[in-house]
Amino acid sequence: YEVRKNFPKNFYWGGAVAANQCEGAYLEDGKQMSTADIKARGFFGGIKRDAEYYPTHKAIDFYHSYVEDLKLLGDAGFNIFRTSINWTRIYPTGEEDMPNESGLKFYDNMFKECIKNGMTVMVTISHYETPLALVEKYGGWYNRKYIDFYMKFVKTIVERYKGIVSYWLPFNEIGNVAVTPICWDAAAIHPDSENLLQKMYQAAHNQFVASALATKLIRETDPNALVGGMIAYKTVYPHTCNPVDVVACENEKRKEYFFSDVQVRGYYPSYIWKFFNDNNITIEMERGDEEIIRCHTLDFISFSYYRSRVASSEYVEPGEIDMNTIEGISNPYLPKTNWGWSIDPDGLMLALMDLYDRYQKPLFVSENGLGTIDKVEADGSINDDYRIEYMKLHIQAMKRAVEQGVDLFGYTMWGPIDIVSNGTGQMSKRYGIIYVDLDDDGNGTGKRIKKKSYDWYRKVIQSNGDNL
């Protein structure tokens, strides 16, 4: 066996976005509101009925600018583009019998443009964009009725985009059921919601079944397409080497691994029953659910990786509280972004090694990047050396994992064109290699400007990751 020194030939290099964070046009061509459309600016839970401004309504207007935007990405050498299909463009309230043809046409044209620009299409079926009408009527995903609504949507898009979409991800960050329309948003919409933990795991179960049914349907409809998981991975470290902290760390890891364990192995892992027992969680399963989950496991695992976190057996006074996270112990060995996220490339290497050791399935980094403030200089340039450094260190970390035998087949940086932040609704939290002239209130020309990182990433792609 030869030690692999660089990325495999045909490695995917590209970028990822979510429809609601870039498209705008929130009521155009028959679309209706999704839960993302009542997210105001601010910390998680910014769901508000009476906010003055909703950033997703206009976003960066990708709905109208995709031709130019995708050309810019193609020119940077991207060979893959990941986006989501906004459920509410296809089934505006989730309950229609027939899909909205105008919504489908938009994705026909947009995907055509991706392919024309040399990009393979990877689609997230559900990226925090549940029809608002469904949430108002049925609550969150803990309601089993969602499986049918979702499958109607899946059937429509899988049949339509057969041979066009090569990779499907049934749910974005499936383990985040607590902070997505499943519970958190549903709780904001239905403030009397009780027993969130129970609802969260019931929602997860319903999504496991939905994801497995989607996998089955995709395989039957388009045998050439592959289906991947998508989990939010935050490498966890014990706060100290005191074994009680190590145990706490293992428990945290299991809470994260639970989701991929079910979806990759095809059954609930034995450790989860004690957790359910301790937390009074009872999962309602229907006859046949276990078989569906067992028979339709994933082809590959994708994950988002931005930062790591720390677990302790005791309550630790938060150092610097992260602006965008619930957990607050900071790691003194790591620098942080302006938004308080630790910067930890080794954590990415560990994520890849752990996931590969655990499952031996091909891996794909479907999100990674630095969300920060960029400054446009007087001459119009944007010198984002900090982003180049961040990406360089993370790509080097991937390379080290590949040397360790990890089967990694692609990388899509998050938000290659600046988009609205999911967590805070800000435009100023920018991830792109392409700048968009819009501020947090939506003011600006919307003009696109290549940042310094644009050329840098282009060279990285051209050299298949050698020229860092």
Encoding tokens for residue 164?
A: 């066009």
Q: Please state, in angstroms and rounded to a whole number, the distance separating the CA atoms of residues 207 and 199.
A: 12
Q: Please state, in angstroms and rounded to a whole number, the distance separating the CA atoms of residues 62 and 64.
A: 5
**Chain residue whose CB lies nearest ligand BG6:** 423
Question: Does 143 engage in binding with ligand BG6 (CB under 6 A)?
Answer: no
Q: How far is CA 447 from CA 321, 329, 428, 434, in A?
A: 34, 39, 15, 10
Nearest to 229 by CA among 286, 272, 289, 293: 293
Q: Which of 429, 430, 451, 458 contacts ligand BG6 by CB under 6 A?
A: 429
Based on CB atoms, which residue is closest to ligand BG6, 203 or 402? 203
Q: Which of 312, 324, 412, 453 contacts ligand BG6 by CB under 6 A?
A: 324
Rounded to the nearest whole angstrom, what is the least distance from the CB of residue 142 to ligand BG6 in the complex? 21
Contact segment (CB under 6 A) with ligand BG6 among 6-14, 115-123, 275-283, 421-429 equals 421-429
Q: What residue has token string 């760390």?
A: 249
Report yes or no: 218 and 162 within 8 Å, Cβ to Cβ: no
Question: Does 18 engage in binding with ligand BG6 (CB under 6 A)?
Answer: yes
Question: Does 371 engage in binding with ligand BG6 (CB under 6 A)?
Answer: yes
Based on CB atoms, which residue is closest to ligand BG6, 394 or 429? 429
Annotated catalytic residue, options 2, 286, 367, 389: 367
Encoding tokens for residue 229?
A: 């998981």
Q: Which of 362, 423, 432, 465 contacts ligand BG6 by CB under 6 A?
A: 423
Q: Concatenated DSSP letters for 330-399?
A: --TTS-B-TTS-B--HHHHHHHHHHHHHHH---EEEEE----B-----TTS----HHHHHHHHHHHHHHH
Q: Please state, in angstroms and rounded to a whole number, the distance separating the CA atoms of residues 289 and 230.
A: 21
Rounded to the nearest whole angstrom, what is the least distance from the CB of residue 19 to ligand BG6 in the complex? 10
Question: Does 421 engage in binding with ligand BG6 (CB under 6 A)?
Answer: yes
Question: Does 173 engage in binding with ligand BG6 (CB under 6 A)?
Answer: yes
Based on CB atoms, which residue is closest to ligand BG6, 89 or 234? 234
Q: What residue has token string 């429809």?
A: 19
Per CB under 6 A, which of residues 216..245 are in contact with ligand BG6? 232
Q: How many binding residues for ligand BG6 (CB under 6 A)? A: 15
Nearest to 17 by CA among 86, 74, 68: 86
Based on CB atoms, which residue is closest to ligand BG6, 7 or 305? 305
Is residue 252 part of the annotated active site? The answer reads no
* Residues annotated as catalytic (active site), given as ranges: 367
Binding site for ligand BG6 (CB under 6 A): 18, 21, 172-173, 232, 304, 324, 367, 371, 414, 421-424, 429
